Structure 1
Amino acid sequence: MGLMDNRKRQTSSSSSGSLVFWSSSFSRQPARVLIVEALPPCWSNTCTGLCDALDNFLSLACSLDGPCRIPLLSLYAVSRQQECLLPFVQVRGNLARLHSSVEELRSIPGEGCIKSAAKGGDLLRQAVLDSLQQFKQYIRHTSTGNQARSNVSVEVTVVTSQPGRSVVLQLESGLKEADLVSLRRLLVVQIVGTGDWGQDPHSPEATMTEDSLMLGTEVDLQQVENSVFAMETVLKEWLQEQGGDREHLHLLLPSPSDNPVPVCVKCDMLERLISPALIPLTPSLGVKTEGIRDFLPAVKGPSNQSPTQQRLKAIKVLHADGVCESVLYGLPLVIRPTTCWQLDWDEMEANNNLFHALCQTLWSKDLLLLLKVEPDKRSTAGGLGVYSHYVLQPSPSLSFLLKPVASRELLLPCSPPVSNQDPSPNAMQTIQSCLSQLDEDFLLNPLLLSSNLYQHLRSRGLLSQPRYPYRLQSTAAHREQPQTAESSRNAVGRQHRQPQNRQLGSNTKVKATVAPLPSAPSSSSSSLGPPPAKTSRPALNFLSSSRRAPAIPLQEGDNDDSDCIILQ
């Protein structure tokens, strides 16, 4: 149930309500504001690439399942005047509205001129202040419950073709006296040409001192090239977890000394790609690799029709050391030569020889094959298909491993820090001492790894047994008052005379007495005195019944105070 709750999503547009899905793992995702400086004549060079990247990114972000990564988005354009193209709206399920705002941004003319760059800087400042005011009003009027507690900040991204340092200085100067409590981060993205990296001739670097940074919030400057992929990378940073309230992972190493407390290395986790399982599509391959049925294409037509064969076309030869494991996902499948009985012996032998030759050639040269799905013309007729890529990795035995590869659309920004300095000698000595406490194996043997899965499944299954129509209860809880055998037989007769199709009320209880187990013979069986000692048996209590059950009459010599079955 918890998994289904985490996968629920709100797909209605912003006009249908203000409820936003908040996941525990993404509960601190900020609202986003994108301010695009569309000043001529630079806008004519950057318009197409930026709008294409924004269109691609929103197509992905609006369709993602799982936790909400971008709760709210607003879009501003600054040209000859400041204009709000898109007030704060929910991203998920709002692709049509977001696409129309991108088209409106694309329609801004890129020709003409402006009087001065200072006017553009003042319009940027006004756009930032207006977005903060709009965010406060939106939260004040629409936030409820978890949203009011979680979504209390906003991040503003300014995209410009002007010198980035100058834009930063103008914003710092213009926002010093503003209320920036809700502003979590201000990012200035400068789009530069190929030959302009690191150059900012119009920026007075001498004035970039610590005294000028008075905003009290994080202000970053990022330079990107004028390409669709570079802008997509900037936007995809919004899809990553932005919490930062606590570390994600504690890596425990054995202590190098006699101290029982292990050495703890605190880490953060970062997604490398968007899981294809979060995209509600059915591509030919790649979304699910949990089994052969997930890999094979769906059959359209009669249910008894066998699935067709998948066709993977080799497009490149790769060196094994040039493939990063972080771009592979899903479960690998073992590929071996076919043993289909419908092939004749000559064809099967020739196929085995080809398979063996391919495997040995790739293994001996430490190579891999990059494969692409050969599209089925029937499945893609009248529409665009989604084509996945795979890596074929040889093994020493006569087999391959087939692993899906993430495409450009699924990749998230990932730039691990590269340090040119060696770690401190104390840290090196501590880590080496910790690792020396561990056993070393040359091969990974999964048979030596136990995950406690059997015990977990067994305990969970025993705790969630289905409700049977009866349950054991103590004898004393439902023991009836002593009665004679004659009165018991009279009661049984009355029950037999009642109509069988009579509807019982919801609170009606029907009691039926059954013969107990044979007791030890007694010298005074006809006596009404105390019954002979016998082992007590727990009563069986039926939970519910829609009909009266016929009673079984007592036999002579049975005990009057015997246990009974009670039907509720």
Structure 2
Amino acid sequence: MHQRRTTGKGPSPTPWIHQQPPRILIVHSISSCGTDICSNLCEALQNFFSLACNLMGPSRMSLFSLYIVQNQYECILPFVQVKGNFARLQACISELHTLQREGCFRPQSPSLQAAIEDGLQQFRQYSRHVPAGAGLNYTCLEITIITSHPRKEIVKQLEEGLKDTDLLRVRKLQVVEITKGALECMAATSPDDDSSNEESSILGTDIDLQTIDNDIISIEVFFKDWLHNNGTDQEHIHILLPSPCFSNISGARDNSMCLRCDLQERILSPSLLPGTADSSLRMDDPKGDFCTLYQLEPQLSTSPYKLRVIKALKSSGFCESLTYGLPFILRPTSFWRLDWNELETNQQHFHALCHILLKREWLLLAKGEPQSLGTSLREPASTFYIILPSRSATLLVKAVATREMMLPNSFPLLPEDPPDDSLKIMESTLAALELEPSYNPLDIQSHLYLLMASASPNPHGRLHPSLRKTRQMPTNRVRATVAPLPMIPAMRRTPKMPDASRASSEAFSSPLEEEEEEEEKA
């Protein structure tokens, strides 16, 4: 069920959509496998950041930094704010693609360790200089290592190299292996290395181990998880059910049973995407609706939104045309302040509800309860929802129309016996269509990535058409905003490769360094 709980820490409740922690992405020698992993990775990054940088509404990503580890490590992008910074991120992705084409290297073990230590040093200096009152709290970060080497081999390197490194500010350390292809994977995979998602605990820090396929869609989906609110600092939704429905459960003070749930988006709202048909429109949900609170006004949603179930409905008696707005997914909460017994009991009751609704073919009609009346004496209009069960241990919730919103319409019943000629014509027409067992949105492209990419200034030209070409792309290498760690002898580059990290240290003195030197002299 469970995400690993962290004890003894945690901020006060935060909005449902909050900024994700700063992230460091370390690309670890993906060119050495001789496949198109690098091109797929760069295109997936380009697609992801075309969305992440341009999404309207509350910022979902805060700081991002990019390292590459070949025979040595190099910071090709120091920490930058993600939102509104697509041009700079695109230039660094272009540079990443160019560097990976320069040759195949077997990175030395200290290089990966040094990249992590350098990233931690930059993060400490950056967070130390965040202006007071800026509303930003950079207390921890997440580090993701993308590699084509066996992930367990990388964990051994980390175990050996980071044993003396302070990782208290690392909330999550993730090692992601991109498979090299079916034949190579069969040769490289050992019998005990067959799990695609694992977790290792070393150095007092959880290491999440994953394997993803070497294709653009799989890599892109992995990065899109960064847009989800995966925090456990707050419950999002309380489903209130009449306690008589559960005879073995004692009622609460208001004679209701409470299921504690977390809310997750099913799709990105078109109203958050600039340049699309719906980008100029706000969500059409009324004030006080949790959809509006979730997507556009997160500062108002610091307490769980309550859905009080008032009726059960037969699935066959509900028309989908009465729903509006975006669908959202409910799942049992993973709120870290709840003890394990309460979390597990809540999950079991949630799953039992899903089973019963599926078995009976029922839906639930629920009324949204306002969080507060504020200073107004008038009660706000209520919003109603339909809650649908799913076989994936989740519930789907959608807003449903009420009497005040309905427009008159009268449609005749479908004739029982259409003319034979018309039936034959339509049957032959439909026979020409390709039949799919289900709808897969990953097979449908709307060219949204190109639209988002073109919405930002791009001094280097589009990245997409050039990813699979061999020509050199012009780059504008960025300089680190803080000095790198001192290079140890084993990490010095060969004369053929320019030591950009060392050059950056010698030729560039950051304002942060100068300020610290002045403080030490004082």
Larger radius of gyration: 1
Higher relative contact order (CA 8 A, sep 6+): 2
